[in-house]
Structure 1
Amino acid sequence: MNRLLEENRELRRELAELRISDGFFGDSNEKVKYYTGLPNLATFMALFNFLLPLMSAQNKILSPFQMLLLTFMRLRLDLPSKHLAYLFRVSPKTVYRTFNEMVSFLYANLKRAIMWPDRDTLHKIMPHQFVEAFGHRVTVIIDCFEIFTEKPANLKARAQMFSSYKHNHTMKYLIGITPNGAICFLSKGWGGRTSDKHITLNSGFLNMLLPGDIVLACCVRRSSFQPSQRCAVSWMLRM
């Protein structure tokens, strides 16, 4: 009897993983990190439990867990819609609709988490590498990133969104992170043709700074980020 019960539990676990349901991750933090980019299962479940009361599962083919996981898998791995449709056993149209709805939902409910920290907090959480290189005056590290879009039908929009750097149509955003890696600023979207300088000057970013703040701009090699080697000081404000 015990052997049969154990076999039944094992088969249920395998079936849950096959269906990509609530038991998909098991206890594997490595699996969570690969599929979502989040560090562990506890972080993913904390985010899911926060969002769950705000989500509506009415007339939905996928469960709330599956909707969130599908969105993270798409963002993390850039999987094609048809591939995700096979994995979740739904149509590509359902994948497309779910992803669009969830991205808007996540933005609406998580944008409040992007906050500009006060200087006392920055000093307390400043990594020692920054303190050694720049003291306690580094406030933010900024970078402009681009997201590929479909080719606009409108000729003016097409011209504004064409990025000479990416050789494609994109939307460009200015993002800022604190020295310990938390996102603290995100601009509105601009056409890919817009220069980084124009976005920096017109996004409201400069209004967040105080005299003496050091702002770092990320260089190309972000994977092995070290403040003294991979960043350059953009401005040292002395207003």
Structure 2
Amino acid sequence: MQPREDLSRAGERGARLVTGSGVGTDTATALLDALGSEGVRTGAAAAEYRLGDAEPAVVALPRDEEGVSRVLALAWESGLAVVPWGGGAHQTVGRPPTRYDVALDLRRLNGIVAYEPADMTATVQAGIRLADLHTRLGDAGQFWPLDPSLADRATVGGVVAADLNGPLRCRYGTVRDLVLGVRVAHADGTVTKAGARVVKNATAYNLTRLYAGSHGTLGVLLEATLRLQPRPAVEEGWWLAGGTVETCH
């Protein structure tokens, strides 16, 4: 139990946090207690997470799976709408939210959980940037063969959730082919997993493919196990120029 004076201060912080917003004081106080002051943003900082005409009252920045689960559970209990947020590179892909109370920023979950170069698999947290992942894998001459736009900002969780593919799909396949398993936090904070950390897995239904392209509607991606490939020794490109659009066709 917290001392009475600590609870009082937490309540005052929660009241200041939600002034003029739709998030209740009790929920705001609980978020502050769960994530700390560095894990909650409001005001001008929240405006950076604006989507169209919608702007969150609160931005939650958990540092681990438990924090994500707690934020979702609190939002579930309070009837708040949560929008997962990765790098923000492709946040406008898909339909905009009709309600938007809490932005759930996952960029602090940016570690590599397990990496098996011999098996060419890696399990990573959803908030790791694609560019950072490729830097880490490059030491072993491997990469995750997806090349969506804005790879310097895009996170693995965002790439999977939005089913983002680039030209390399013609050679290596799509997101659904290159994700072996996921851990997901659902709307009430419950955490489940699908797939496995191995390439050959024939257990039950392949729900991993269902989460790819779900845009956060089925849950918040926490981790993904990725199928890797050897990085090509040489990469080349061609530039074709034409005088007009018609001649290019």
What is the TM-score of this pair, normalised by structure 1?
0.27
* RCO comparison, higher one (Cα < 8 Å, 6+): 2
Specify the structure having the higher radius of gyration (Cα): 1
Comparing both structures, which one devotes a greater share of its residues to helix?
1
**TM-score scaled to structure 2, two decimals?**
0.26
